[in-house]
Amino acid sequence: MRTTHRLGAILGVIALMIPAVPAAAHKPHRDRSVSPVTFLSDSTRTVGWSSLVRDDDGVHMMFRSSELGANAAITIWWVVFNNPNGCSNPCGPDDLFLNGDPTQGFNEAQIEAAQIVAGYSTGRVANEDGKATFRDSLLAGAVGDELIVGSGPLIQDSRVAEIHVVARTHGPAIPGLVDEQLGSYAGGCEVFLLPGSDTGNAVGVCADFQSATHLP
């Protein structure tokens, strides 16, 4: 009986020495979506896939694509609809441009209604087969390095926002100019074509041309 009591006492002391794990220490719930990467000019033409993981702190993106152009300099851009309920149905070009037509200018009313903010994500040079994989993370509340639409943080609420990931070509990578090509919207661009245009992977010709959509 004495041995049993002594063992019980020892186990009780050990239990007190082990710190309790608070509920907050558990990993936050994450939501993951996977969407096809398609051409802006043809949404039925799938050339890759994109995944987006959301948690309360922000989002984590992967964008894997092909037909980017051999050794092309490609940048990736966040287009975030922070208020999807304010979009036309669905969120898309009609919210960014008047009548969905880039030649008519930005649709300022819808940009405000849907709280659209677009900005730089990342960039890299595609391989000789025109393939590349891009990864980036974005914290909720972060403004971003370069905004091309809207103002303020790119993502207000990572659980609520509809997020489009857009690929932009800057033509073949040019030695001595690669950092500029991969670092900004206009990097290395001499000719700016409308979204969805075929640049032919020509030097100095730039356009947004592929995208993936992640619904909340």
pLDDT in tens, 34-60: 999 999 999 999 999 999 999 999 999
12 belongs to a structural domain: no
Report how far Cα 60 is from the mean position of its chain's Cα atoms: 8
20 belongs to a structural domain: no
170 belongs to a structural domain: yes
Rounded CA gap, 46 and 35, in Å? 10
Domain count, the chain: 1
Q: Looking at residue 28, what is its pLDDT?
A: 64
Q: Looking at residue 29, what is its pLDDT?
A: 82
- For 16, phi then psi, to 5°, come to -70, -30
9 belongs to a structural domain: no
Q: Residue 135 sits in which domain range?
A: 30-214
Q: Are 173 and 206 in contact (CB under 8 A)?
A: no
The sign of the CA dihedral 19, 21, 22, 24 is positive
Of 18-27, 52-61, 140-149, where does the model show the most confidence? 52-61
Q: Looking at residue 30, what is its pLDDT?
A: 84
Average of per-residue pLDDT across 110-121: 97
**pLDDT band with cut points at 50, 70 and 90 for residue 24:** very low
The number of residues in the chain equals 216
Q: Looking at residue 7, what is its pLDDT?
A: 45
Q: Residue 5 above 90 pLDDT?
A: no
33 DSSP β-pair partners = 52
Q: Looking at residue 18, what is its pLDDT?
A: 46
74 belongs to a structural domain: yes
- The enclosing domain of 152 has a CATH number of 2.60.40
Residue with tokens 């992640």: 214
Average of per-residue pLDDT across 181-206: 97
The sign of the CA dihedral 188, 191, 193, 198 is negative
25 belongs to a structural domain: no
The sign of the CA dihedral 194, 203, 184, 34 is positive
Q: Are 114 and 87 in contact (CB under 8 A)?
A: yes
Report how far Cα 64 is from the mean position of its chain's Cα atoms: 12
Average of per-residue pLDDT across 130-149: 94
Please return the burial class of 128, using the count of CB atoms within 10 Å of its CB with bins 0-12, 13-18 and 19+. Answer: exposed
7 belongs to a structural domain: no
